[in-house]
A = this chain, B = another copy of it.
């Protein structure tokens, strides 16, 4: 199924250059500095449940596509908010998936799945209705073997370092268990404080109160609240954290005076912020986080622009993260100005911005990252973590921001078996892009080898300080 020259340019000479470049980076260790795998896997090192639980039910890329063509979420085992019945038989779920496998034609999900089936599970028959049981049995059988336990796969995937994402309210117990186990796999956490920086987050005031308890700070005061963040960030650093992560609806930032910020915080605690004030508070907290980053060295990641849980009925019936997060237009030029005026010229600070609005790459983000020392561009992300998305990312950013204001690839995934596939796609697409530059006289072949290694390995390691 997988062809060796996949994703390379079609012109034979350019393809040859891409292949040569790729061969020098194909086996580089994986740096996965931003993702959502479950630290419990590495801590407990128990077998994955079944093929459906591994590939379908928890992966909104996969069940979203099936749902869009009329397959119900219940039949795919996605849990209902009301606890109503949903399919629990992994084999039945797998059959539905296999019957509809043609829906994934031309999508990156298909690339990742085929890669995992063939490369991780050694399957040689394409998935289809006819072979559904056969493939289910094969994978299920594999999952019982020691070489398919999470840590074994981690090592087989050649992961040098992987980051998970936790709330400040998380006690990092799984991370502690990993550390205490003596296993050498490098699994680090990342600081994702939505629950305690977003006044519109469910239970914000209670969350902040809990933050106070956890840190011994008086979180009813602005200064105590900031100090509590500093303490938790330090705690996260003990478990390897090198970054914080912020997924706001917009890219808005603010740089308020201490008294204005304190007043807004007090309102937020009372639950009396307007939508605009809540947005301003979130925006101001990015600037506060950046200031803490200047002290403690955490890299600040901003992931804006998703309209979360777009479907009311789906949100009611199934809750968050069900494939209904839809990108929106995002303005970065005005939105990031307060943050950049405050800290954008700091050479020792790294702010990584991602976008779901590709139009901002050439127009806004590359010019900003090509000017401000603190600002770097995250890779093509989410819907754009794909061959065409990655190609457009390079075509739209390189001429203005160059390669060195970008930070290599990250997979941002909770689908463990897709990690090698995703990094492989990125390495192939980047090598194809570099090969095109070489073949058109825009880059020397010697430079291309160096850049290929930078994009596949070095820049992620350097930018995320891993």
Give the B-binding residues of A (Cβ under 8 A): 1-3, 5-14, 64-65, 67-70, 102-108, 110-111, 126, 307, 310-314, 323-329, 331, 333-334, 337, 340-341, 344-345, 347, 356-359, 362-364, 366-373, 375, 383-384, 386-389, 395-396, 398-405, 436-437, 439-444, 447, 450-451
Contact = CB atoms under 8 A, between A and B. Distances in A.
A109 to B, nearest CB: 9
Nearest to A367: B326
Contacts of A404: 69, 102-103
Given A345-B311, A399-B387, A105 B65 contact: no
Contact of A384 (B2, B327, B362): B362
Given A68-B405, A442-B106, A383 B371 contact: no
A416 to B, nearest CB: 22
A310 to B, nearest CB: 7
A208 to B, nearest CB: 30
A335 to B, nearest CB: 11
A310 B340 contact: yes
A399 B366 contact: no
Given A10-B436, A345-B314, A384-B362, A106 B328 contact: no
A446 to B, nearest CB: 9
A318 B67 CA distance: 48
B398 A107 contact: yes
5 contacts: A9-B10, A126-B444, A313-B344, A329-B331, A386-B400
Nearest to A327: B363
Given A68-B405, A383-B367, A451-B105, A395 B399 contact: no
B440 A10 contact: yes
Nearest to A314: B345
A370 B65 contact: yes
Contacts of A111: 442
A329 B364 CA distance: 9
A428 to B, nearest CB: 9
Which one of A364, A388, A400 has the greatest number of beta carbons of chain B within 10 Å? A400
Nearest to A391: B395
A104 B402 contact: yes
Contacts of A341: 311-313
A98 to B, nearest CB: 15
A440 B331 CA distance: 34
A402 B110 CA distance: 10
Which one of A12, A364, A367 has the greatest number of beta carbons of chain B within 10 Å? A367
A290 to B, nearest CB: 15
Given A345-B311, A402-B65, A363 B373 contact: no
Given A10-B13, A307-B333, A341-B311, A324 B105 contact: no
Given A10-B11, A105-B402, A441-B3, A388 B383 contact: no
A323 to B, nearest CB: 5
A2 B441 CA distance: 7
Given A441-B5, A447-B102, A399 B389 contact: yes
B367 A363 contact: no
B356 A363 contact: yes
A211 to B, nearest CB: 33
A362 B359 CA distance: 10
Contact of A345 (B5, B108, B313, B329): B313
A64 B345 CA distance: 12
A440 B371 contact: no
Contacts of A363: 327-329, 356-359, 383
A425 B436 CA distance: 16
